[in-house]
């Protein structure tokens, strides 16, 4: 085997999707830590990952089968390896110290200083030091957002605050995260089938009545919602409502970008094959011709067309990768 590990650095660009890792086995660039002294790079040897400095000297040994290179926005990286408990996950700091022990069977990124973790099918939350702040006693959880996190108990969903207190009782078939003061919730969960969505505020008050087949987070004051469509009402089409439930863009799209409106534009498709962008009035600003699109960030959005990847600006000028 060669002495020098294989290394690579992450490309950070104006579109967040350009910095996403689609395959952990491909050595995608990522800065673990950035200081005047050292820049650490993800590197690999014999199928395991570690970290090297800019001169390819090993700084953190090759101990991990997995490194989530996008989880390090708070100075900690999620890592995984095989252990006596099977495949387990935890978090290391920039010096390689395992500050959150690798004892969890599932782990999310940190959100609002807490990370959702699971051990033996029970979910809870830990802080940056690895201390369990909310006991691992739930069937499932959502990430914290606006001070609250969805929790599932006895097959129903509610919300806890960061102290672990249940502030909205588990009465829902499913819940989303709070965004702009509202979260989508399903009024029922019959026979494992979830539908009939509306929105509640952080006090659990129903703001928009349950009436939609599915719903998504609010972004820039609008949320995507779907209604039944077709002969047997099994299909659904998407439109947009405002924060009091007024229809702003009529349901008509086969799908819409999951992130919702960003910089006053959102990706939509009529057939799931060709995507374009509409404005807040529902008018196409960029024609539906792309096989995939991401949301706008700093005036640019990643797109894919005929197997080529690149990005467009807000007037549709294309910039393709070499």
* pLDDT tens-place string over residues 119-176: 999 999 999 999 999 999 999 999 999 999 999 999 999 999 999 999 999 999 999 9
For the stretch 207-229, pLDDT in tens is: 999 999 999 999 999 999 999 87
pLDDT confidence band for 22 (50 / 70 / 90): very low
**What's the confidence (pLDDT) of residue 13?**
34
pLDDT of residue 68: 87
Q: Let me know how many helices (H) and strands (E) the chain has, helices first.
A: 0, 33
**Confidence (pTM):** 0.82
Ranges 36-45, 108-117, 252-261: which has the least confidence: 36-45
Average pLDDT, the chain: 86
Average pLDDT rounded to a whole number, residues 89-102: 89
Residue 263, burial from CB neighbour count under 10 angstroms (0-12, 13-18, 19+): middle
More confident residue, 276 or 53: 276
With bands split at pLDDT 50, 70 and 90, how would you rate the model's confidence at 29? Answer: very low
Residues above pLDDT 90, as percent of the chain: 69
Can you tell me the distance from the alpha carbon of 286 to that of 250, in angstroms, rounded to the nearest whole number?
A: 19
Nearest to 51 by CA among 79, 12, 73: 79
d(CA 276, CA 266): 8
- Tokens coding 5: 């590990």
């Amino acid at each position: 085997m060669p002495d020098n590990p294989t290394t690579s650095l992450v490309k950070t660009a104006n579109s967040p999707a350009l910095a996403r890792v689609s395959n952990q086995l491909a050595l995608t660039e990522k800065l673990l830590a950035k200081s005047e002294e050292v820049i650490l790079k993800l590197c690999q040897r014999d199928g395991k990952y570690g970290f090297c400095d800019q001169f390819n000297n090993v700084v953190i040994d090759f101990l991990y089968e997995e490194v989530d290179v996008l989880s390090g926005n708070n100075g900690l990286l999620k890592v995984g390896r095989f252990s006596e408990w099977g495949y387990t996950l935890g978090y290391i700091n920039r010096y390689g110290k395992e500050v959150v022990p690798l004892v969890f069977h599932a782990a999310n990124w940190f959100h609002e200083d807490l990370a959702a973790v699971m051990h033996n099918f029970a979910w809870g939350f830990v802080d940056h030091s690895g201390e369990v702040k909310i006991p691992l006693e739930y069937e499932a959880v959502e990430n914290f957002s606006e001070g609250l996190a969805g929790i599932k108990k006895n097959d129903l969903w509610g919300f806890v605050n960061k102290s672990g207190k249940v502030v909205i009782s588990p009465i829902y078939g499913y819940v989303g995260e709070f965004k702009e003061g509202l979260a989508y919730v399903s009024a029922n969960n019959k026979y494992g089938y979830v539908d009939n969505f509306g929105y509640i505020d952080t006090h659990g008050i129903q703001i928009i009545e349950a009436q939609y087949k599915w719903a998504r987070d609010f972004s820039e004051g609008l949320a995507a919602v779907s209604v039944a469509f077709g002969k047997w009402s099994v299909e659904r089409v998407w439109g947009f409502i405002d924060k009091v439930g007024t229809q702003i863009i009529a349901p008509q799209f086969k799908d819409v970008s999951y992130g919702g409106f960003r910089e006053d534009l959102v990706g939509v498709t009529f057939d799931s094959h060709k995507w374009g962008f509409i404005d807040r009035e529902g008018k196409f600003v960029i024609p539906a011709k792309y096989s995939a699109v991401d949301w706008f960030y700093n005036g640019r959005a990643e797109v894919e067309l005929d197997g080529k990847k690149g990005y467009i600006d807000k007037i549709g000028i294309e910039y393709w990768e070499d």
